[in-house]
Amino acid sequence: MKMRSMTMVEMWASLGSTMASFMFVWAIIQRYCPPELRRYLEKSTNRLTTFFNPYIQISIHEFTGSNLKPHKAYGRVEAYLSVNSSKSAKKLKAEMVKGSSKLVLSIDDHEKVTDEFRGVKVWWVSGKVGSSARPMSMYHPEPEKRYYRLTFHKKHRETVTESYLEHVMQIGKEIRGRSRRRKLYTNSQKHSMWSHIVFKHPATFDTLAMESEKKQDVIEDLLAFTQSKDMYARIGKAWKRGYLLYGPPGTGKSTMIAAMANLLDYDVYDLELTSVRDNTELKRLLIETTSKSIIVIEDIDCSLDLTGQRKKQEKSPEDESIKGKTETPHKEKKEESGSKVTLSGLLNFIDGLWSACGGEKIIVFTTNYVEKLDPALTRRGRMDKHVELSYCSFEGFKVLAKNYLELEAHPMFQSIHRLIEETKITPADVAENLMRKSPREEAEKCLSNLIRALQEAKEAAAKKKGEEESDDIEQANEDAQRKDKQESDKPI
Ligand SMILES: Nc1ncnc2c1ncn2[C@@H]1O[C@H](COP(=O)(O)OP(=O)(O)OP(=O)(O)O)[C@@H](O)[C@H]1O
Ligand SMILES: [Mg+2]
């Protein structure tokens, strides 16, 4: 018997009728089958289609479980696709990132884009679940949970899972790093959590008035820290470093912190200790800090009374509270803060078990009165590097003259050199004199202002010294008279 080969039309017709019969049978099953049998059939069909489906899918979710922080991987895929695939996407989303005037494009929900890697074709689709499906309540709707789904042929499984995904993560990380805006965090008492703004401070080590040798030492120390991940792991130490910046007001401690953050490209957490209720809250705030950050506690001598806390605690261990009191003459006395943070809580914050969380952190304390701090707080290992910021030297003045007046040399520098070596003047005061009061003010005017300020400071210092000397003489005379009297009162 001679078999007639099927024409295309006949083939499509037969396929169509098979599909139609299948759909019909499926509709009958859906309608008349008991639920148990229906579920069983559904499962089996799923298994069958999965078995024959040559494609594999991998989902990358923004949030999973009770995680409050979005997954890094999701952000990296988003960044990768926004640059690599947004050109081929037909539906795009445009969002304004906080603190930036630029629109950031990413692929829209349910949009499918294609990517190619070493000749392997893959497909990405973005989606979301939650929100409209089952709201938790009218006022607190369940947040949308977004995801990206990657689809590829199973024959490329190895290339995709072992190389392509790593490539996406790497490129995504670089893109995010380039567009990252650094943040300045602060803890507020009201909500006992961090809030942030975009960190923008122009200070750099180049604009910092400080002896160049000392400056270079700090820069090298910071850079060595960032490159020592393996070394810290090898010696079994948490990857963090403590800095204690001390010196009179206006010598550049806060400015140096900004320069550090700009050098390392780190975020800054400005911790106000008096707003922290107790040690538990301090620990929580610490855990919430991210890596590549500087945690700053300014004016530690004023924040809490950490001067003789250990001794006091020995006397009355039940009184754990350290209240905001200080004998510092320059700073305003802090009102009773109600903070129950203790010295041991703070020591734990710096180098307890929790302090190692996140890694790559720098902790900076600043103070005007280093000698008043408890040695336990400032010992090496906790505060690894002590940096003194002092009165302005001629070298420091030259940096400021370049910053403020764009001058590298001037005949008036000679008298400034002589006066500045004989006088104690802070870089803040020098900067104030060098600042042009109007754009047209001559540099000479600013320099002569500074010379006058230096002369006045010199005279004031000489006067003070004279007064102190006469006080000393008076005191010595009084002491001598008292001694003479005691001698003469002694029975013979
Ligand atoms: N070493 C410095 N280099 C450059 N500018 C400085 C320096 N020191 C002070 N200044 C200038 O003076 C201002 C005040 O300095 P800064 O706030 O850094 O001082 P501080 O040491 O933190 O003082 P305080 O102990 O009162 O907190 C800065 O805005 C900066 O313009
Ligand atoms: Mg300061």
Helix (H, G, I), strand (E, B) or coil at 21: helix
Residue 378 bridge partners (DSSP): none
Judgement on whether residues 189 and 129 belong to the same structural domain of the protein: no
Judgement on whether residues 433 and 373 belong to the same structural domain of the protein: no
CATH number at residue 250: 3.40.50.300
- Mapping DSSP onto H, E and C, the string for 310-328 reads HHHHHHCCCCCCCCCCCCC
Residue 457: domain span: 394-482
Atom number in ligand 1 closest to CA 209: 3
If you measure from the C-alpha of residue 55 to the centroid of ligand 2, how many angstroms do you get, rounded to a whole number? 60
Within a domain: residue 68?
yes
Examine the fold and report which residue of 360, 388, 416 is the final residue of a domain before the chain moves on: 388
CA-based R_g, the chain, Å: 35
Examine the fold and report which residue of 362, 388, 414 is the final residue of a domain before the chain moves on: 388
Within a domain: residue 400?
yes
Judgement on whether residues 205 and 354 belong to the same structural domain of the protein: yes
Successive 10-residue mean pLDDT values, the chain, 492 residues: 52 66 72 77 77 88 68 87 76 66 73 91 87 49 77 94 94 82 82 83 94 95 93 87 95 96 94 87 87 92 59 40 39 55 83 75 93 84 91 95 94 94 94 90 92 93 80 82 78 64
Judgement on whether residues 175 and 187 belong to the same structural domain of the protein: no
Within a domain: residue 78?
yes
Judgement on whether residues 279 and 409 belong to the same structural domain of the protein: no
Helix (H, G, I), strand (E, B) or coil at 288: coil
Judgement on whether residues 137 and 240 belong to the same structural domain of the protein: no
Cβ of 254 closer than 6 Å to ligand 1, yes or no, is: yes
User: What token pair was written down for 479?
Assistant: 């002491």
Within a domain: residue 7?
no
Judgement on whether residues 272 and 339 belong to the same structural domain of the protein: yes
Judgement on whether residues 363 and 437 belong to the same structural domain of the protein: no
Please, is 93 exposed, middle or buried when counting C-beta atoms within 10 Å of its C-beta (0-12, 13-18, 19+)? middle
Nearest to 300 by CA among 376, 369, 216, 225: 369
Within a domain: residue 295?
yes
- Pocket test of ligand 1: the residue of 208, 245, 254, 387 to mutate, having most ligand atoms within 8 Å of its CB, is 254
d(CA 149, CA 442): 64
Looking at residue 142, its pLDDT comes to 57
- pTM, two decimals, is 0.68
Within a domain: residue 2?
no
Q: Give the number of the ligand closest to the Cα of residue 203.
A: 1
Judgement on whether residues 156 and 224 belong to the same structural domain of the protein: no
Residue 190: CB atoms within 10 Å: 8
Judgement on whether residues 202 and 333 belong to the same structural domain of the protein: yes
If you measure from the C-alpha of residue 249 to the centroid of ligand 2, how many angstroms do you get, rounded to a whole number? 7
Number of domains the chain contains:
3
Cβ of 208 closer than 6 Å to ligand 1, yes or no, is: yes
Looking at residue 130, its pLDDT comes to 63
Judgement on whether residues 172 and 217 belong to the same structural domain of the protein: no
Examine the fold and report which residue of 388, 417, 446 is the final residue of a domain before the chain moves on: 388
Within a domain: residue 123?
yes
Within a domain: residue 20?
no
Tell me how far CA of residue 9 lies from CA of 14, 18, 39, 345, in angstroms.
Answer: 9, 14, 36, 82
